[in-house]
Amino acid sequence: MIMTYGGSSDWDALAGTGPNAMTPEQIAAHFTAMQALQQELAATGELVAAFGLSEPDRAQTVDVGTGRPVVSDGPYAETKEFLAGFGIVDVDDHERAVALAARFAGIVSSRVELRPVHG
């Protein structure tokens, strides 16, 4: 699993607002590059799934510690970075996974987390 992270300023930039606001052309180029990579991996059969996630302020936490679901607004942990999206790839070896993670990192201009999925 390749996980991409971002902070609130990253969401602002992609929305075209804030001090690091991206131009409409930069936003389009970002999404075009991500879509092209995903299409390439789908064509090779390596892409299992890939999704971007909504802003963290739309997250909800569900806890069943009391025996009944309790839903709270917002993410569980207070953090400056949030999971922004993920891709699950099925590759032949770790070297290929690292190479793909590097391509994702290049598109999002940040580090990404690479982690095996059980099963």
Give 56-113 as a DSSP string.
GGG-EEEE-TTSS-EEEES-SS--S-EEEEEEEE--SSHHHHHHHHHHHHHHHTS-EE
pLDDT of 87 reads 96
pTM passes above 0.85: no
* pLDDT tens sequence for the chain (119 residues): 999 988 777 777 777 888 888 888 988 998 999 999 999 999 999 999 999 988 777 888 888 988 999 998 876 666 677 888 999 999 999 999 999 999 999 999 889 999 999 87
Domain spans of the chain, in order of start:
2-114
Class of domain 2-114: alpha beta
